[in-house]
Structure 1
Amino acid sequence: MKILLLSAYDAMSHAYWRKGLVAAFPEYDWTVLTLPPRYFNWRLRGNSLSWALGEREVLESGYDLMICTSMTDLSALKGLVPALSSIPTICYFHENQFAYPQADSQHKSVEPKILNLYTALAADQVLFNTAYNRETFFAGVEQLLRKLPDHVPPGVVDQLRERSSVLPVPLPDSVFETHIDAQASQPLQILWNHRWEYDKAPERFFMALTHLKAQGVSFQVHIVGQSFRKIPDVFIKAKESLADELGAWGYIESIEDYRQLLQSCDAVVSSAIHDFQGIAVLEAVAAGCYPLVPDRLAYPELFPQKHRYPSHEQDPAQEARVLAKALSVLALKKASGQPLQAPDVQGLSWHALKPCYQEWIEQLVE
């Protein structure tokens, strides 16, 4: 079987998914085209032009199936390369532009949302990584269609619902490691392992740690994850104010060192206002970390209530206080010798989800 795989904005999470997909099915003949994750607006609107004229011979090589990400300008690409129009197509949504929070500095444009909609309509099957992603997409589409002035056809969302399903990004089997339980005498080991950007709301997390420190709770915190050229000021300030409690800091190049850190931490925390699946948290949980996540986004479908602290998305100070309280409870449990048991996420492994992916691939080709 020949499969064309297109990742139009190949950010870290997208590359994580596509590499796992190709590795899981070595029996298929894969052709992979990617574009770098920069110049967002141009990449989103220009990928069809870049590929249609720059990779035409590859695109016209004949395939049994095409799989693309939601960043792909699929309707335009099929129009520019007619040979693609007859190939069964799966579109995979890692996120949707309707539920993506915008920074104050970002220009609010409807175009990314329109492109998401057109790409979904141009696919034969649409897969979302979580139910939260799917439902916020449909809600956003409905809201957008109500704002359009005229000639809006009925049943757009119903049509999309009929050919959409939820299929998570699987975790590599290698992330399921035996947890290294630290001694009760050691301080609580806290992990924050997200992109260093506004949508992960790091200021809430740091406020919670400030409360924890003021209460005299003993802890060590590890701040790791992908950072970019401009690091938000909140990280610089936190590095100074938490100097005595700071463990690992910054991006860890070695995957082995990173996995060892996950195995050795007690708790992994999210303070995000945007997460469509939360792979960073899930990998830490697979390594044995106890998750503490806000009661919003995709987290209610991923973790039991005891792992979700109350959400106060519009009140960061209040949310920081409830997170600090939850962390202090974990510190007390650890000090008393009680185990901090991570939930079982084996059902999200490639081993568990590969048959689901295979079923969609073969069903669509047939």
Structure 2
Amino acid sequence: MRILLLSAYDAHSHRRWRQGLVAAFPEWQWTVLTLPPRFFSWRVRGNSLSWAFAERETLEQSYDVLIATSMTDLSALKGLVPALANVPALVYCHENQFAYPDRRDGQTIEPKVTSLYALLAADRVVFNSAWNRESFLDGARALLQLMPDAVPDGVVESVAGKSCILPVPLEAHWFDKAGETANTDGPFTIVWNHRWEHDKAPERLFGALLALHAAGLDFRVHVVGQQFREQPPVFAEMYPLLKDHIGEWGMVDADADYQRLLRQSHVVLTTALHEFQGLAVLEAVASGCLPLAPDRLAYPEFIPDSCRYPSYPDDPGRESAVIAEHLQRLCVRYYQHDLPASPAVRDLSWSCLLPAYRAEINGLA
């Protein structure tokens, strides 16, 4: 089978997904085109133009199936490259613009409409979580209701009817502990592993940590993740107050070092206000961490009830207090050698999800 795979905004999670997909099916012949994850507005709207002129010879080859990420302007690309018009297409949705808490001023509806058109142009649509699908469908429905006229019936239903849920799988190495387990003699260790941006709600993390510090608890925290030139000021404000408890701080560049850090931690905490699957948390759980996640977004699909705390998205102070209460209980149980085991997430591995991926792709050929 000849497959054209397009990743129009090849961010880390998109890259690992398409690399895993290619590696999972070496018997198929893959042609992969990617564009770098920068200049978001231009990339989302301009990828069809970029590829149609720069990669026309590649795009006009014969393919059995076309697979594209939802950032790909598929409807325009099929129009600009007629050879693709009749190739069965699957669009994979890692996220959606309708549920993204965009802080930029002057946001337009164009990224939302472009993604809607891409899904309408596909023969099959795959979302990584039910939360992603429902928030997309609800957002698209609400947007179309705002349009002044000539909105046809059945647009959202068309997408829903050809969609399914299939998470981004976890690679095998996350489940390979290689004899490394969390130290039961050292301090209670928490890891918070997210991009250092507002939508990950770091102020809730630090509010909870200050409460643990005030209670006199012995703990260590690793605050790791991708950093940017502009980041929430709470990171700089909180470091001096919590420096005696802080282990790793910032991006851990080496994969082996990052995996070792996860395997040697006890609890992975997330405070995210924006998440469509939560791969960073799931990687930590596969590595042996006990998760502590809010009861919102996609987390109820992947994290057990016992590992979720009440969600107060509009009340950061209250949520920090709730997080602190849960962490204090877990800290006490750790020192009593009674910390629960991490939940099983092996059903999210490539080995378990591969048959479902094969069925979806074969169904198009």
What is the TM-score when the length of structure 1 is the normalising length?
0.97
Aligned-pair CA distance for 1:182: 1.8
Provide the rounded CA distance (Å) in 1 between the counterparts of 2:238 and 2:342: 27
2:224 paired residue number? 224
Match of 1:35 in 2: 35
**Residue in 2 that maps onto 1:156:** 155
Per-residue displacement from partner, 1:223-261 (whole Å, max 9, x unpaired)? 111112323322122222211001011111111111111
Q: Which residue of 2 is the match for residue 129 of structure 1?
A: 128
Q: Which residue of 1 aligns with 2:356?
A: 356
Deviates more, 1:185-194 or 1:36-45: 185-194
Does the Cα contact within 8 Å between 1:266 and 1:340 map onto a contact in 2? Answer: no
1:120: which partner in 2?
119
- Verify the 8 A CA contact 2:187 2:219 in the aligned structure 1: yes
CA positional deviation for 1:102:
1.3
* Structure 2 gap ranges (5+): none
In the TM superposition, structure 1's runs of 4+ consecutive aligned residues that sit over 6 Å from their partners are none
1:276 pairs with 2:276: yes
TM-superposition CA deviations, 1:7-26 (whole Å, max 9, x none): 10111111111111111111
The 3 A distance-change label for structure 1 pair 106 and 175 is farther
Residue 364 of structure 1 aligns to a residue in which SS? Answer: coil
Q: Deviations over 1:139-192 (max 9, x none)?
A: 111111111111111111221111000000000011003361322x42210001
Is the Cα contact below 8 Å between 1:187 and 1:331 reproduced in 2?
Answer: no
Indicate the SS of the match to 1:90: strand
1:134 maps to a residue whose letter is R
- Mean CA deviation greater in 273-282 or 333-342: 333-342
3-state SS of paired residue (1:72): coil
Provide the C-alpha distance between the structure 2 equivalents of 1:160 and 1:341, rounded to a whole number of angstroms: 39
8 Å Cα contact 1:9-1:37 kept in structure 2: yes
Length, aligned pairs only:
363
2:77 partner letter: L
Q: CA deviation digits over 1:278-309, x for unaligned, max 9?
A: 00000000001000000000001111111110
The letter of the residue matching 1:181 is: A
- 1:263 equivalent in alignment to 2:260: no
Secondary structure, aligned partner of 1:244: coil
Whole-angstrom distance in 2 between the partners of 1:195 and 1:12: 12
1:112-148 deviations in Å (ceiling 9; x for gaps): 1101110000000000000000001111111111111
In structure 1, what residue type is equivalent to 2:328? S
Q: Is the 8 A contact 1:294 1:310 kept in 2?
A: yes
Aligned to 2:252: 252
| Amino acid corresponding to residue 245 of structure 1 in structure 2 | H
Q: CA RMSD in A?
A: 1.0
Q: 2:80 maps to which residue?
A: 80
Identity %: 54
TM-fit CA distance, 1:340:
2.7
Q: Give the match for residue 334 of structure 2.
A: 334
1:16-55, aligned counterparts within 5 Å? 16-55=16-55
Q: Deviations over 1:28-85 (max 9, x none)?
A: 1111111111111000100000000111111111111110010011100000000000
Q: Which residue of 2 aligns with 1:142?
A: 141
- State TM-score, norm by structure 2: 0.98
User: 1:290 corresponds to which residue?
Assistant: 290
Q: Distance in 1 between matches of 2:312 and 2:171?
A: 33
Query: Which residue in the other structure is 1:107 paired with?
Result: 106
Shift in Å at residue 96 of structure 1?
0.6
Could you tell me which residue of structure 1 aligns to residue 182 of structure 2? 181
Partner of 2:4: 4
Deviation at 1:107, TM superposition (A): 2.6
Maintained 8 Å contact 2:126/2:166? yes
Look up the equivalent residue of 1:283 and give its one-letter code. E
CA apart distance, 1:339: 3.0
Contact conserved, 2:198 with 2:231, CA < 8 A, in 1? Answer: no
Q: Which moved more, 1:173-182 or 1:217-226?
A: 173-182
How far apart are the structure 1 equivalents of 2:26 and 2:258? 27
Asked whether the 8 Å contact 1:49–1:77 carries over to 2, the reply is: yes
Query: 1:42 & 1:18 partners in 2: Cα distance?
Result: 22
